Structure 1
Amino acid sequence: MLTLLFAGRTWLAQVKPQLNALSHVSSKPSSLASYRQFADTVLATYDAMWAKVSKPRWANAKFRLYCGKMRVVASFWAKVKKQAQKRWPDRILALAYGAASFSGSGSVGCRGVPVSQMRKEAVKQFGAGRVVLVDEFRTSRVSSAYSNPSEALPGQPPETFR
């Protein structure tokens, strides 16, 4: 990743004036005049930028980054499975995975939290029949109104897993 950043700086050195021009205009304009300025700047710099970033090395760099992310997720689930097998060697492993889905707050085009990717890799590591999607509603032993079970109403047990 770090080498990609340094390589990217070297690769973009020839289009530095175009990048500076693009950095001075907003891609989210608030008026028609500012949008017109943005559109004019993009059109003026388009040919030089496209000639530079359409080279195969940019696609290769993005693909290497994607593969690196996939390796990190795969190694995480492999480590979880290995630790579980070490702790419970005589049990058949199953994974209770949360069924909720949400959009992680990441950069444009890339989620901060790889929700579906994590679930797919868990299914690949544990097996399709061994990953159970569970509803996360009321799955805590501690009531949301109290910080620990001892503060619950007298005579009533704390909430349990369903």
Structure 2
Amino acid sequence: MTFEVLEREILSRIGNHECEETIRDMVCRSESAFEAISQVTSRGTNFEAFRIFVKVRVAHLEALWKEYIKPRWARLRMNLYCGKQRAFANFFNHLSTLKEDKTQRLEVAYGEGRWLTQKGYTPVPTTRTY
């Protein structure tokens, strides 16, 4: 299985199409604030562009928070999180069925490595699953 398969599974499990439509409907209500913010960016090295971004963001901060504190945004974020977790679990369950020897344990390490403890040692990922 590749990353594309996992991504496709995540999107299908969280009902990506329904979420997009719901978000689009919500954004239409605060369209002027979102439209203004979408015209500027915080990326790049131009300090003047960043200052413009901050000014626009501060000007529309109240409208953004008025929309984002509604329970439906929390519900959408939670649905996205749960969908990703389900897809992640299904992906590793599928990997564990591919093991040739059933007595072996599947461990997938991910995350950042820690600091070097001794000279010549290479840090390894410290988080595991399954």
- Shorter-chain TM-score category? 0.5 to 0.7
Using the TM superposition, give the Cα deviation of residue 29 of structure 1 relative to its aligned residue in structure 2, in angstroms.
Answer: 5.4
Q: 1:33 aligns with which of 28, 48, 65?
A: 48
Superimposed CA distance per residue, residues 62-119 of structure 1 (whole angstroms, 9 cap, x where no aligned partner): 11111111111111222233344xx65xx52323x4657559xxxxxxxxxxx877x3
Aligned CA distance change for structure 1 residues 37 and 100 (closer, same or farther; 3 Å):
closer
* CA distance in structure 2 between the partners assigned to 1:98 and 1:54 by the alignment: 37
* CA distance in structure 1 between the partners assigned to 2:46 and 2:61 by the alignment: 22
The equivalent of 1:92 in structure 2 is 103
The equivalent of 1:158 in structure 2 is none
Using CA pairs below 8 Å that are at least 6 residues apart, which structure has the higher relative contact order?
Answer: 2
RMSD (Å) for aligned C-alpha atoms: 2.8
Aligned CA distance change for structure 1 residues 30 and 70 (closer, same or farther; 3 Å):
same
* CA distance in structure 2 between the partners assigned to 1:100 and 1:6 by the alignment: 33
Give SS of 1:12's match.
helix
TM-score normalised by structure 2 residue count: 0.65
Q: Which runs of 5+ in 1 are unaligned?
A: 104-114, 123-162
Q: Which runs of 5+ in 2 are unaligned?
A: 1-15, 114-124
Aligned CA distance change for structure 1 residues 93 and 51 (closer, same or farther; 3 Å):
same
* CA distance in structure 2 between the partners assigned to 1:26 and 1:52 by the alignment: 21
The equivalent of 1:137 in structure 2 is none
Equivalent residue runs for 1:1-162 within 5 Å = 1-28=16-43, 30-84=45-99, 88=101, 91-95=102-106, 97=107, 101=111, 119-120=128-129, 122=130
* CA distance in structure 2 between the partners assigned to 1:49 and 1:4 by the alignment: 19
TM-score normalised by structure 1 residue count: 0.54
* CA distance in structure 1 between the partners assigned to 2:126 and 2:79 by the alignment: 20
Over the matched positions of the two proteins, sequence identity in percent amounts to 25
Superimposed CA distance per residue, residues 27-58 of structure 1 (whole angstroms, 9 cap, x where no aligned partner): 13544433332221111111111100111111
Superimposed CA distance per residue, residues 110-157 of structure 1 (whole angstroms, 9 cap, x where no aligned partner): xxxxx877x32x2xxxxxxxxxxxxxxxxxxxxxxxxxxxxxxxxxxx
Aligned CA distance change for structure 1 residues 20 and 71 (closer, same or farther; 3 Å):
same
* CA distance in structure 2 between the partners assigned to 1:98 and 1:3 by the alignment: 32
